[in-house]
Amino acid sequence: MEGLQSQPRQKPGCDEDLAPYQYRALDQSSREIRLLRILPGTLDQELTLEIFHAPLIEPEGPA
């Protein structure tokens, strides 16, 4: 997206850097959707989010 910058951030309360968002196409066969997780923090911290994929159709496996 034009004008949207993604830079590494630190997870609140953690020394671990969060990676910038990397686009990945959705898997059409499992009807994936993107979900957004809002990470905990305090009112004076910047909002920190995680974007992840989740299938709407479970893959077929052994019964």
pLDDT digit string (tens) for 41-60?
Answer: 999 999 999 999 999 987 67
Q: Bridge-partner residues for 51, per DSSP?
A: 36
Phi, psi (degrees; rounded to nearest 5) at 60: -75, 135
Percentage of residues in the chain having pLDDT higher than 90: 49
15 HSE (CA, 13 A, CB side): 0
In the chain, domain spans: 31-57
What pLDDT sits at residue 3?
Answer: 41
Query: Does the predicted model carry a pTM greater than 0.85?
Result: no
